Structure 1
Amino acid sequence: MSKRKISISFRDPAVYEFVMEKANTGISAYVCDLIRRDMNRPKEEDLDKKVEEIVRRLLQNADGITLSPNNQPKKNSLSDEDRELLKSLF
């Protein structure tokens, strides 16, 4: 396997210091290991699909979501702040 070289610049000094602390076996080995782990990580699912799956699981579990009537906003009701804001606008 042939060696290929690249140069990496760190704009953020904190990132550079972090890499220097983590790179016990050498910076090149550390960076290659990070990239290799990223390459081998399974592709992430679409965020919408994940949210849909979580909501579906919660809805199937009767104990998963509990809403008390006191926590639900009342329909067609405005807070005093909202009323004052509307009065000042019109």
Structure 2
Amino acid sequence: MAKNKISISFSEKHLHIYNYLKTKDNISSYLCTLVEDDINNGQDRLDLDNKIRKIINDVLKDKQIIGSSPSSIDTTNKDSAITDEDIDTILNLF
């Protein structure tokens, strides 16, 4: 038997979750799997955000909208200049 234990309380608002968990054969294993997936998804999300940011920066550099760093935006063509805020907005769409 495991030595590491925690106790979880469920309010009336979450009674449906408590009842659902009671239907599982191994609640500990089920919860560990959910938490592990959550941890991995958080890292996956961060990796995806970084990849998207790099791709956007590469495209902007290729189009000569920004210089070698994202903070050096070319302001000569203000209609097509994309700011860091624009990049963040694009990233938030994913």
TM above 0.5, one fold? no
Larger-gyration structure (1/2): 1
TM-score band by shorter chain is 0.3 to 0.5
Task: Provide TM-score, normalisation by structure 1.
Answer: 0.43
State the structure with bigger RCO (CA 8 A, min sep 6), 1 or 2.
2
